[in-house]
Each structure stands twice: as structure tokens, then as C-alpha cells.
Amino acid sequence: MAGRSVTVLNVAEKPSVAKAVAKILSGNPILRGRDGRSRYNQIFEFDYTIRDQPCRMHFTSVIGHLMELEFDARYRKWHSCDPLDLFQAPVHKTVPEDKKDIKRTLEEEARRCQWLVLWLDCDREGENIAFEVVDVCTAVNPHLTIKRARFSALVPSEIHESVQNLVEPNKWFSDAVDARQEIDLRIGASFTRFQTMLMKDAFNIDTVTDGRNTVLSYGPCQFPTLGFVVERYWEIQAHEPEEFWSINCSHRSDEGTANFSWGRGHLFDYTCAVIIYEMCIEEPTATVTNVRQQEKLKYPPHPLSTIELEKRASRYFRMSSEHTMKAAEELYQGGFISYPRTETDNFSSRTDLRVGHYRMEARKNNKKIAARSKEFYSNTSHKISTDQSSQSRITERSGRPQK
């Protein structure tokens, strides 16, 4: 039943996402926002109905994490304690100075609202940011009704469905991020202080040219990565290139070209390679002694895999991980792809795989692409479901003649 209108504070992870979702829900593509305390985070207002409940929507955003984890003041100075003490030192979350304006905006809006709907990205990091927003808002209004919108793409169908099926935020996901942040802080700070103070005299790294202190930084991720880079560099430096020769053989017929692989692979002796080559020229007729057929399985790449996306973008397009994720983020915000930073390879049961192609048709007005997309989806016999997407595979038969 329709009742008295409630005021709903909606918070997204980025200003661009807040603007896109607000335009979809309001049905107004030229929706204008008003300025809040932060000039980068506007507030959009419009009317909407959630499950027959009239709502006055206030839509704003943060910019990534709202809080930072840090030690108590007495442990922040390098010589205030033994680096080992940092593993037991108290830590707490605070809002840094550059995010104070965003915090004030959330506090002002939360005081006037009855509901808080969290539109943060649907991964563990987004869940953690969601609880940071909850902490700020409930501190000034403890009576807020808190809900979570789960969505994977900025397309109207998914956005409308998610707001009509709000869920509870996942505290376990947020706690997992808190644990990881605390581990990173304790390990990084203790080892950075330890090795910097230990080695600054031995290697004369007290100061650099501009007067700042030099820090030998340590991180649980960056140090192993540095090890891989150095190890690969040593391998390249130790490699001594050596010339080799191989013999290639192929046969052309009406059915196509058959390429034969030399069992020996290659020779490092030029004279031996020439002798074997001349023997082949003198006896140009070859006999196929065996044809072996076997089933070969080719697995498609896992869907929704961020690592696989970065690997293939690097291999085929020579794109760095940073460039790849920036492009993916822009495609996501444009509604062409689902959220790129996922931790699953299963499609949601409500995912419509045709949306990206049809949106491309509408944006680019490319009838050729549209026709091919519709033909592909109408002729596809298999259907990807939540429990089948990671198990799908392509089977092909291959015959390989042997010389």
C-alpha cells in the first residue's frame, strides 16, 4: 500500500555512477544536480516508488574509500616504538582531511532521511566502503533503515530491478577487507621501519637530493612482485642467443594445406641441417604411415575474470593493466559491460547477455553489428546459466597425419 513519502539517501562509489543511476531512475537524461559540501560530489533529487512506497530520492556519492586505517598517535613516529610493537598496536579508522567535505555532505543529508540505500560497487571493497558510509550516517541518525542495491551493469533493466529488490549489506565481506587492510598496515609499517633504519647507515641512504627522508618500503604484495621482476631480469641478462636451423615441410591439395612438424625440432649444427635437407630434396616423395584422430578439448576463457581480461588485453593489444581497467571502467559506466572487478566466474541468473550488443547498436547506429548480434543470439543453441558458465567447453575433432 502507498503510504507517506519517505526521504531516501542513495550513495554510490563514484560521482559518475551516481549521475548515471540517478538519470536512469528519474527517467530524466538531463537531470541536474545541486552542489554539496564537496564540489565533486553533486546531489540529485527526484521522486521514485520502491515497492509501492513513494520516495523522495537524494542521490550522491563518495570517491572510493571514505576512511583510512592508521595507528594511534603515539605509534606513528618512527622512533616512538620498536617495529615489532606495531603488530599489537591499536588501530582505528578515520576520515582523512581531503574526504571531510564528503563526510559533511553525508551527515547533512542523513539527518533529513529515513532510509539509506547503498549503491557501492558489488565487490568486497565496495561492501567495505558501504559500511564506512553506514558508520558516518548512523552516527548522526541512528534510526536509518539501511538497504543495499546489488547490480552488475549500469543498464535500466538491472538498475530498476535492483532497487525493487533491496537486500542487507554483507558484513562478512566488509570484515574480510578490514582484516586485509590491517594485515597490510601492520606488516608494511613494521618491516618498512625495520629495514629502513637497519640499512640506512650501511648503504648511506639517509637523505635524497631534495632533503626528504628515503624510505625502503615493504609491502606484502609489492615485495614478491619485485622478486618476480628481478628474477625475470636476471634470466634475460643470463640468456645467450644461439643460432639454430629447422626443416619445414607442407603438402598442398584440394582439401587444403597439411603442415608437418619435424620430430627433432631444430638443429644447432648448420652442416647437419643442410645434409638432411638435401636428403629430403633427393627423395621428394613421402609416405604417410599413420593417421591418428583424437578428441581435443578447448576451454573458453572464464567469464567475468578480471585477471583473464588483463592477460588477454596485454597479449593481444599490448595494454597495461592500468590502461585495461580504465577502459573497462569507462565501458562499464557507459552500460556496455558488467562490473569489471568481479570475484566470480558465474553469470547472475538475471544477466541478459544481449544488452551490451543492443546498447552498442543504439549508441553507434551500426546496423551491420546489430544484425550480426541478433543473428548470433537467435542461433545460439546453448544457454549459459549460473551453474554452467564455468563448466562450458568447446569440443572439436582433429586429425593429425604423421610422416
Catalytic residue numbers, as ranges: 339
Burial of 59 from C-beta contacts in 10 A (0-12 / 13-18 / 19+)? buried
In eight-state DSSP terms, residue 345 is S
Contact in structure between 49 and 55 (CB atoms under 8 Å): yes
Outline where DSSP puts E strands in 195-351: 249-253, 256-260, 290-298
Q: How many whole angstroms separate alpha carbon 245 and alpha carbon 268?
A: 6
Q: How many whole angstroms separate alpha carbon 248 and alpha carbon 211?
A: 63
At residue 112, φ and ψ (nearest 5 deg) are: -100, 5
Cβ atoms within 10 Å of 355's Cβ, excluding its own: 18
Q: How many whole angstroms separate alpha carbon 16 and alpha carbon 330?
A: 10
| Residue that the C-alpha cell 542521490 belongs to | 59
Q: Which three cell numbers stand for residue 242?
A: 644461439
Q: How many whole angstroms separate alpha carbon 357 and alpha carbon 369?
A: 8
In order, the DSSP letters of 158-192 are HHHHHHHS-B---HHHHHHHHHHHHHHHHHHHHHH
Long-range contacts, 190-194 (Cβ 8 Å, 24+): 190/83, 190/84, 190/86, 190/87, 191/83, 191/218, 192/216, 192/217, 192/218, 193/78, 193/83, 193/86, 194/83
